[in-house]
Amino acid sequence: MFVVSEIEPCRLAVLDARRDGRRTGLVLTMGALHEGHVSLLRAARRRCDFVAVTIFVNPTQFGPGEDLDDYPVTLEADLEACRGEGVDLVFTPTVATMYPKGDVTTVHVAGLTEGLCGAHRSGHFDGVTTVVAKLFEILPTDLAFFGEKDYQQLLVIRQMAGDLHLPIQIVGCPIVREPDGLAMSSRNRKLSPQQRIQAVSLSRALHAAAKRVRDKERDVERLVQTMTDQIKKAGHAQIDYIEVVDAVTLAPLVRIDRSARACVAVRIGSCRLIDNIALDVPDAGG
């Protein structure tokens, strides 16, 4: 496994693999790898002959007062996990390498970034799309794998890649959960035992909403109420949002009359957790 923190050798390694006729895949991460990340590595390994991973805690996607300084770093364990999954290349740049002139140039995706996390984390998605565009240039792979855990991010990146005519295919991968339902996240390790119990309320709420939809509930206000009740009864939490949106446009819905997504963002102590679930209705026609 080739571990590199400079741009040119990284780009050359990907281009060499492509020249050899290998199908190349990319998994972008901020490190502190867990089974959710590993599922992306495996998806990439299944579909590609060469798998590249990036480990970079991107400062520009954190707002003032967010947990940048506190973000978990476990580089040695991460490299071990990558080795174990047969990763070919790991790119671990410094901030100075990624932003040699600061953040003068940015990539902005309008529309999809306005609601949900975009409404609560000012500048977050500009930070994400800018770093992802840079990483796509540095690691010009055929495919890139992203988790549905960050559902809005997945749609935003797909939009960006399409609009900028980037020759890369964006592949979405399902959310990996703990046995009790909590969506895996690098931030979960910051939860106290008490908060860890409380955190299960997010996935419980989402699954309760999905069940109500299967039982023919179509009214979004009532679904949001169900989710809010579940989360509030688990203990004090600051709710950023609990929403049901169109699964393609992320526009808020009043009734579930098309493919939808329930999305939640909740702060438990200093931890901001997000999760989402598909709400599919057979009679919706997509």
C-beta separation of 2 from 90 below 8 A: yes
* Site membership for ligand AMP, residue 29 (CB under 6 A): yes
Q: Which 3-state string (H, E, C) describes the chain? A: CEEECCHHHHHHHHHHHHHCCCCEEEEEECCCCCHHHHHHHHHHHHHCCEEEEEECCCHHHCCCCCCHHHCCCCHHHHHHHHHHCCCCEEECCCHHHHCECECCCCCCCCCCCCCHHHHHCCCHHHHHHHHHHHHHHHCCCCEEEEEHHHHHHHHHHHHHHHHCCCCCEEEEECCCECCCCCECCHHHHHCCHHHHHHHHHHHHHHHHHHHHHHCCCCEHHHHHHHHHHHHHHCCCCEEEEEEEEECCCCCECCECCCCEEEEEEEEECCEEEEEEEEECCCCCCC
For ligand AMP, the binding residues in 257-286 under the rule CB under 6 A are: none
User: Which residue type is seen at 181?
Assistant: G
34 classed as catalytic: no
Q: Which is nearer to ligand AMP, 115 or 127 (CB)?
A: 127
Least distance to ligand AMP from the beta carbon of 40, Å?
5
Give the count of residues interacting with ligand AMP (CB under 6 A).
17
234 binds ligand AMP (CB under 6 A): no
| Contact call for residue 93 and ligand AMP (CB under 6 A) | no
Q: Which of 10, 17, 26, 30 binds ligand AMP (CB under 6 A)?
A: 30
Binding of residue 17 to ligand AMP (CB under 6 A): no
247 binds ligand AMP (CB under 6 A): no
Kindly tell me which residue out of 186, 188, 203, 226 binds ligand AMP, with binding defined by CB under 6 A: 186
- For residues 138 and 220, which CB has a smaller minimum distance to ligand AMP in the complex? 138
Site string for ligand AMP, 142-181 (x = CB under 6 A): ----xx-xx----------------------x-xx-----
Number of residue whose CB is nearest ligand AMP: 147
What count of other Cβ atoms lies within 10 Å of the Cβ of residue 71? 17
Catalytic residue among 34, 37, 120, 124: 37
CB of 270 to ligand AMP, least distance (A): 17
Which CB sits closer to ligand AMP, 39 or 224? 39
Active site (catalytic) residues: 37
Which residues are near ligand AMP by CB under 6 A? 29-30, 36-37, 39-40, 146-147, 149-150, 173, 175-176, 183-186
